[in-house]
Structures are given as structure tokens and as C-alpha cells.
Structure 1
């Protein structure tokens, strides 16, 4: 395809996402990612703990599931807009990878660095409040990342062109 022909396939609503993004838009995008990450994190920890796994395999499972559920929420929304599976997967990867990666780095970093957090069990109150603190920290640190990405037409700005 010639470059000038490709230029005609632009989406005005996609271009309107360039420039300064609002903190509200960034917070909504981060909350979207946080939802998938939290589902995956908790499910991974529950499965790993129930199977008697150690900290490392449980954390790896939780991270894999966080990415899976984070991408799944975006895939669901984009597929609902009538986009093909291949395009939807590309959109989800483009929209969520950096956001989920930062969120997982912060979330798991808090869990690793918090004294005694990795030795708790699901029935311990400390498990749940440290996880809550970790997720809040991940939200606070990831929101400016999403604001920066949306302002440059990346991240969730890519998904917004499929919202009706």
C-alpha cells in the first residue's frame, strides 16, 4: 500500500486523543488495568497457595494471570465493537502492555519489600491489607504512565477509537 493511500485511513477520534490527556481519563484507564491485574493477582495467589506452591511460582502465576485478565478485559471491549480477533489482540497488546507491566512491577515490588508479606497466608489479615496497599501504590504510580501514553495516542487512546 502506498503511503499516501495509507494516510487516508486515519480515524479523527484517534487523533483527538493526542495532546494533553486528562487525569480523569488516565485514572479510568488505570482502573481498567487495575481490575484485570487484581483479579489475576488474587486468583494466582489463591491457586498457588491452595496447591502448596512456594512464593516464586505463586508470584509468577499471579503475574501471568494479571496480564491474562488485563488483556481479556480490553479484548472483550474491542471484540464487542465488531473488530476481528487478530486486530483486537494487537489493540489489547498495544493498549495494556506497558500499563500492566508497570502495575505488576510496583504491586509485586511492594509485596516483596514489605517485611513478612511473602510469608503470610490467605487467612492472614496482613495478606489482604498489604495486597490492598500494593494495588493502591500500583494505581498511583501507573496513572501518570497512562496519562503520558494517552497524551501521545498510545495505551488506552488506541482502545478509545473502538468505543461507540
Structure 2
């Protein structure tokens, strides 16, 4: 276990220092640092393979791959939700509530923080106002959160049920179990985020350049295309703010940002079915927790 925490420190230091030179949005940079704090070398590997610019001026092309967009989307979700989940786990420790209630508290805290802060607040420039951002990010955060908690609950509850030393945040085993559980949540949430990104309901990586240096031709074309797409969506939002296909343009300070295309291509009916699927994933995780662990035990 000591080796786990040592490799986490090394991985976080590497990502925190190296990512400063990566032309990525600030919220995504913080997300990678946070996910690395949860997962150590696994998070650092995700950063290198999915976001780190291999050569100057190539970030737009590099992160355009669908799987990299999905990794970015999932990472962003788990980083925000994970903070809320950990806060809830610390707050509820030792107050004597049953494990099933603790899981629901962690779900609530995680969803609210991930939705209102990491999604709506940090991404408000893409939607014009905070209120609009809240409306447009609610469903995507809900679907992703259900998958995260499904995977996390299936690991956390059985582990803590058989290891009383992992129940309290004053011990190292608690943080180890929570870290491993969040990694499980990340893996379970990948397919759901793939669907969300594929349907244009979520974005993954972005490119933010603060200088005026010219980009290679292909990269410049990617930035220009993204800017034109965003302008079109701003017009849609202005005429129909409630439209699920409306994605507003970035604010003026986003002029150098290479936002990736978010063009919703799914119906409300299909979104409704996927919402049910996401709750089913959470339910399966809860069922596994009950079969392999003890949901009635007191924390």
C-alpha cells in the first residue's frame, strides 16, 4: 500500500508539471491532476496517451480521435464526481448510518458537485450563461454519474464490508479503497461516455492556445472549422434556447480555443432509454454490493 501512495505522488507531480505546457482547457488540466491523484500511474498514462501534445501544433489533430474524446469526457466526469463523493464519504464516516444510506449520500454529493461545478460552472462559456449551462449538462451528468457509481459501489461496499480498517478516512486503507473504487467507476463509465460523445451530447478534449503563433495547416483548419461550427450553434441557441440541438458559441475569450463539434444526434426517446440503462447500471452495482458485501452495516 505504501508503494501505491508513492507512485501516486510521483504521477501527480509529473502530470501537474507537464500539463502546464499542454494547450488544453484549464478545467481539463485540473481534471487530469485530480484523476491522477485518484489513480496514480493509471491517470498519468491516460494523460500521456489521450491529451499530451506529441509535437508542437498537433494537439487539435491528436485529441480529435473518438477514443481520446471519450477518455476526456469520462475523466472530466469522474474528477468532478469523485471530489463530491470523497467529501460525502468523509462527512458520513462514523455517524452510524447504514452503508446503503452512505452510498446514496455519496451519490447525491457527487452528482451535485460534478453537475453544478465541474460541468455547468466550468463549462458555462460554451453555453452563454450558468443557468443555460445547468440545463444543458443535467442529463449528460446524470447518465455518466449513474455509471460511475455503479462501478464504484460494486467495489467499495464489498471491500469495506470485509475490511473494517477501510471504513474511516483517518486510515490509509480508506483512501486506497476509495481510489481503486473510483478507478472501477471510470472503467464502467467509459461505454456510457462513448455513447454520449458519439451522439454529440458531451465533448472530451479541447484545445486552448493563448498565443498568436500560426498553427500547421491541418491544425489551423481544425480550429477554424470548430469556430464556424460554434458560431452556427450560437445562432440556434439564440432562436431556441430550449432546443436539445442548441449549443451556444464560446465567449469572446474563447477566440483561440479549438472546441470540438457537439452536434446532438439522438432523439428524446433514445435519450430516455439510455437514462433507464444508466440507472440499471447503478442498480447492478448496488445488487453486486449487496450480494458480495453488507449494505446494512453501520459506518
| Residue of structure 2 in register with 1:68 after alignment | 112
Bigger-Rg structure (1/2): 2
Q: Is the 8 A contact 1:94 1:155 kept in 2?
A: no
2:103 maps to 1:59: yes
CA shift for structure 1 position 41: 1.0
Write out the 4+ residue segments of structure 1 that deviate beyond 4 Å after TM superposition. Answer: 157-163
| Residue of structure 2 in register with 1:139 after alignment | 186
TM-score between both structures, scaled by the size of structure 1: 0.74
Structure 2 CA distance, aligned partners of 1:131 and 1:161? 37
2:75 maps to 1:31: yes
- Can you list the C-alpha shifts for 1:45-96, whole angstroms capped at 9, x where unaligned? 1111154434233222111010011102111133234623442222111331
Q: Is the 8 A contact 1:106 1:134 kept in 2?
A: yes
Structure 1 residues without counterparts, runs of 5 or longer = 1-19
- SS of 1:53's equivalent? coil
CA RMSD of aligned residues (A): 2.8
Summarize the Cα distance change of 1:68–1:141 in structure 2 as closer, same or farther, 3 Å threshold: same
- Can you list the C-alpha shifts for 1:92-127, whole angstroms capped at 9, x where unaligned? 113311111100111112112325257621123322
CA shift for structure 1 position 155: 3.3
Q: Is the 8 A contact 1:48 1:54 kept in 2?
A: no
Structure 2 residues without counterparts, runs of 5 or longer = 1-63, 205-244, 255-299
Instruction: Please give the residue correspondences for 1:1-164 in structure 2 after superposition, counting only pairs within 5 Å.
Output: 22-49=66-93, 51-72=95-116, 73-81=118-126, 83-114=128-159, 115-117=161-163, 120-156=167-203, 164=254
Select the structure with the greater relative contact order (CA < 8 A; seq sep ≥ 6).
Answer: 1
Structure 2 CA distance, aligned partners of 1:81 and 1:122? 37
How many residues align? The count is: 145
